[in-house]
Amino acid sequence: MLSFGAVRRTISMTIAGLTVMLAVGLPAGPPALRPAVAHADPAQVLIVGDSLAVGMQPFLGEMITDREVTFDVKAGRTTPQGLLALRFGLQRYAPQTIVVSLGTNDGSNARIFADRVRRTLLEVPPLACIVWPAITRPPRKGAYKALNSVLREAARSDPRLTIVNWDRMVEKGTVALRDGVHPDADGYRFRAWVTAAAVRRGC
């Protein structure tokens, strides 16, 4: 187990057509798995996140073929905890793209979350892209729509940031959440497909 409960995995595979998939909103079929050796270079993707990133781990790495994929993910992680993990990762790697799966375990205060997002973006190198899936959770975990407004406002002012519209996909019934937060295996595969497509598209 790495520091901050990190889980690292490097996988290489072919995902022809994922960029087109994002444009039309349709997932591609899952390809086969091929392990590769990790190394730190600009052609790399760093995934930092919570349990939703843990759930994507078996699928996301296999959908990105032209870069090394490194995971630092842990269930229950908040954005401040994820920021620490991000700083740790950036000391070791030079990622071309960073996937941030955080916010679900944060409070509902939009002002506090906006500061957390701002500090996260400040840590990312100027030429790196950031992919951040929007948040959805049940009422018992607190309101979240204001948090998504923060993310989308940040994306309007920072061209490096791409928001995956996970909340809208859930609202439309494209994917179901068994407990209001976590999908089943097919749902995680779908979340990985749309996230990988955003990675492929770049910023």
What percent of the chain has pLDDT above 70? 79
- The pLDDT-based confidence of 65 (bands split at 50, 70, 90) is confident
Is the pLDDT at 188 greater than 70? The verdict is: yes
d(CA 144, CA 103): 9
pLDDT tens-digit map of 97-137: 999 999 999 999 999 999 999 999 999 999 999 999 999 99
Q: Which two tokens stand for residue 194?
A: 């749309």
Give the global pTM.
0.79
Domains and CATH numbers, the chain: 3-201 (3.40.50.1110)
- What's the pLDDT band for 43 if we cut at 50, 70, 90? low
